[in-house]
Structures are given as structure tokens and as C-alpha cells.
Amino acid sequence: MEFAFTQEQEMIRDTAAAFLAEVSDSAAVRCAMDTEQGYEVELWRRICGEMYWQAIHIPEDCGGMGLGYVELVAMLEQMGRYLLCAPFFSTVCLAGNALRVAGSVEQQTHWLGKLCAGELTATLAFNGGCSRWDADAITATWRKEGAGYVLNGAYRYVIDGHTAELLIVAARAAGSSGAQGISLFLLPASTVGMSRQWLPSMDQTRKQAAVHLDNVSVDADALLGESGQGWAALSKVIDLATIALAAEQVGGCQQLLDMTVAYTGERVQFNRTIASYQAVKHKAADMMLKTEVARSAIYYAACVAQEALEGGPLAGELSEAASVAKSYCSDAYFAIAGDALQLFGGVGFTWEYDVHLYFKRAKSSEHLLGNGTQHRERLASVLLD
């Protein structure tokens, strides 16, 4: 596949980069990450009201812009580059995609309409606290009670789960295992019986929470899709979110490369800049190579993701493309972050420099939605089937 940005896509990418360079600089990131909420409400309002980014790939009949996944990935790459602290990934890439994939027309019109209007933050919860990110990670249960359902269980690693105004949760029928018996439910933040707790983590730029459901009763209209048949939709949503996360990782790779080249070009040792030493040049070249290969992987995956949303001929390659992108980007981001620390020397992990922020984000995003080893094992399984 030969890929090149259209003029419109270049404009979207460049506009995102210029806006984020202004509003998500080092001072803004450090200010937001020191709060439990994790983002500035006024910045989120500007993103929704001025930029309308939350609606970029939402269909026009739901109030969105109706653009594609390539445009979304182009923006996410810039968000990862500037470590944007905002509920964008959780609202758009997790909950928004879940509504697009599994929601009924009425549910999409109502909830995606609120999302596009900037009236809603949302997230997706499905992992019960294990290191896996497949169907076996779902431990919460549901049971039918009258016309509605009763939910019990707990979730961890829920992105922005303590602040989201809507949670989409996955639960399984009691006694089921694997991909069987899984259903998705819509839970507003005010739902009785649901409690949420912020979980401090290594990566302060992306907040996580634990969510507990204690005999939560919901009506039948809270169900997304068919009862007990939710894994096909959820697995697709996870793949779409995985590609989005890999795009952020590529943005981080690029920023680390740029920061390192700039620093080594200024740092003088033995009367010459350290960038003039061949060993440093080789290391920078390796960092650039990893970044460019990672970028190729995410934009191919973005094209496949758009096909999957539209039911195109490449839709069947979604799992494969997601695992290729995430496995390579996870490894590349952490490797580049480590190289950047080495080339910055002793100041690399000091609080005054931003390298440590990217290093922490690299490690946390490496494990979120599956690390490189897990995705390579999954890829091998997909290719052998």
C-alpha cells in the first residue's frame, strides 16, 4: 500500500501540532498531572468547542465531522508528541468507538450526539485486574432480573474512570468463560451501586481508576448490542483503541528524537558538541529508523481501521494490523526513551527535563492494551488460524 497524506489531512495534522504546542507545553502538562482530575476543564472545552476534535471520526448523522481513522490517528500522533492531558483517548477512542461499533441507532444518536456537543466525557471498563487484555480479562458478572440486569464486579486500569460522566462496562454471564456470555452496558456516573477510585500510577500524565459494581441494577436499554454476544464488538473496539494508542506512541518517539537531537547539538564536551561524535550520530540514526518504521505501521493500521468501521475488504485484517502496530510501537517507544535518557546523561531523569515524562509514558503505554510480547503471540495465533 502506497500511503500519502491528502492536503486536508496535512492541514489537520499541522493545525493539531500548532495548537498543542501552544496549550500543551511542559508547564501545562506538569500543572495538569499534579491534579487528581488529570486535565484542565477549560482546555477540554477549547478542544471540544474550538477544535471539534472529539467529533472528527463520528458520523455526520450523529453530529460528527464524518472523517476517517487516518485523520484521527494523525491527531493522536500529535497528542502523544505533546503529552496532552485530556480525556480524549478515553472518550473518543474507547467509549466513542464502543458506541459506534455496538450501539443501536437510538443509543448512537443520543450518546454520540452528546459527545460531539462536548457535553460528555466517557470511558470503557473491562479488565478485572489481570495482565491480559483479551476476553479472559473480564471478571465482572451480569444476571437477568425482570426486564433489566444486575451487575457485580470490579475493574482496574480504567482510563479516566474516576472523572468520566459515562462508563461502558463489560460483564459476563455467571458461569461463562472465554468469549462466551459477554455483554456491554451503559452506566452514567450517577448510577447507584457504582463506586470509583483514582489510582495513582507511574505515568502521571494519564489517570487511571478502579471501578466497583455492587448489585447495580440497569434497565434493558442500558444494554449495547445483543445480550451475551458482546465479545465480537468489544474485541473490535479494543483493536481500534490499540491502534489509537500506538499512534500516541509514535508521537512520543518523534518528540524524544527531536529533543535529543536538539540537546546533543548544544551540549559541549572536549570543545565540541557531543552530536558530532560518531557513536551519538549512530544512536540518533537508530532512533529515527525506529520512529519511521513505527509511523508506517500506524498509518497502515489506520487505513485498515477505517475499512473495519465501513465494512471494507480489509476489515478482516484489523486484529493483525493492530498487533503489528502495537508490538512494534511499544518496543520502539521504550527503546527510544531509554536511548534519550542515555544521551541526555545525568540530567535526563531530573525533574527539570521532560525526558522522564516520556520515559514513564512509554512504559505505561507499553503495557496498556497488551505489551509487545502479548501482541506478537496474538499475531502468531491470528496468522496460524
> Scanning the structure block, which residue is given the C-alpha cell 461499533?
101
- Residue 104: inside a domain: yes
- Residue 159: inside a domain: yes
Query: Distance between CA atoms of 60 and 240, rounded to whole angstroms?
Result: 20
pLDDT of 348 reads 84
Q: Specify whether 69 is located in the same domain as 131.
A: no
**Residue 340 CA from chain centroid, whole number:** 23
- Residue 1: inside a domain: no
Q: Specify whether 328 is located in the same domain as 193.
A: no
Neighbours of 114 (CB within 10 A): 17
Mapped to the 3 state alphabet, what secondary structure does the chain carry?
CCCCCCHHHHHHHHHHHHHHHHHCCHHHHHHHHCCCCCCCHHHHHHHHHHHCHHHCCCCHHHCCCCCCHHHHHHHHHHHHHCCCCCCHHHHHHHHHHHHHHHCCHHHHHHHHHHHHCCCCCEEEECCCCCCCCCHHHCCCEEEEECCEEEEEEEEEEEECCCCCCEEEEEEEECCCCCCCCEEEEEEECCCCCEEEEEECCCCCCCCEEEEEEEEEEECHHHEECCCCECHHHHHHHHHHHHHHHHHHHHHHHHHHHHHHHHHHHHCEECCEEHHHCHHHHHHHHHHHHHHHHHHHHHHHHHHHHHHHHHCCCCHHHHHHHHHHHHHHHHHHHHHHHHHHHHHHHHHHHCCCCCHHHHHHHHHHHHHCCCCHHHHHHHHHHHHHC
pLDDT of 257 reads 98
Side chain identity, residue 282: H
Neighbours of 65 (CB within 10 A): 17
pLDDT of 384 reads 82
Cell readout for 97 is 468507538
Q: Which of 224, 255, 289 is the last residue of a domain?
A: 224
pLDDT of 152 reads 98
Cell readout for 313 is 475488504
- Residue 2: inside a domain: no
pLDDT of 2 reads 67
Q: Specify whether 216 is located in the same domain as 287.
A: no
Q: Specify whether 242 is located in the same domain as 315.
A: yes
Domain count of the fold of the chain: 3
- Smallest CA-to-CA distance from 153 within 187, 122, 198 is with 187
Q: Are 169 and 329 contacting, i.e. CB atoms less than 8 angstroms apart? A: no
First to last CA, the chain: 24
Q: Specify whether 77 is located in the same domain as 162.
A: no
Q: Specify whether 193 is located in the same domain as 264.
A: no
Cell readout for 311 is 465494512
Q: Specify whether 113 is located in the same domain as 140.
A: no
Q: Which of 102, 121, 140 is the last residue of a domain?
A: 121
Q: Specify whether 29 is located in the same domain as 142.
A: no
Would you write out the chain's pLDDT as a tens digit for each of its 385 residues? Answer: 567 899 999 999 999 999 999 999 999 999 999 999 999 999 999 999 999 999 999 999 999 999 999 999 999 999 999 999 999 999 999 999 999 999 999 999 999 999 999 999 999 999 999 999 999 999 999 999 999 999 999 999 999 999 999 999 999 999 999 999 999 999 999 999 999 999 999 999 999 999 999 999 999 999 999 999 999 999 999 999 999 999 999 999 999 999 999 999 998 888 899 899 999 999 999 999 999 999 999 999 999 999 999 988 888 899 999 999 999 999 999 999 999 999 998 888 888 999 999 999 999 999 999 999 999 999 998 888 7
We report the CATH number of the domain holding residue 147 as 2.40.110.10
Cell readout for 65 is 465531522
- Residue 77 domain boundaries: 7-121
Q: Specify whether 268 is located in the same domain as 147.
A: no
- Residue 21: inside a domain: yes
Q: Which of 163, 197, 224 is the last residue of a domain?
A: 224
Q: Are 130 and 140 contacting, i.e. CB atoms less than 8 angstroms apart? A: no
We report the CATH number of the domain holding residue 235 as 1.20.140.10
> Scanning the structure block, which residue is given the C-alpha cell 494519564?
206
Q: What is the dihedral of CA 362, 368, 372, 373, to 10 degrees?
A: 130
pLDDT of 1 reads 58
Q: Specify whether 54 is located in the same domain as 186.
A: no
pLDDT of 208 reads 97
- Residue 363: inside a domain: yes
Q: Specify whether 195 is located in the same domain as 328.
A: no
Q: Specify whether 97 is located in the same domain as 22.
A: yes
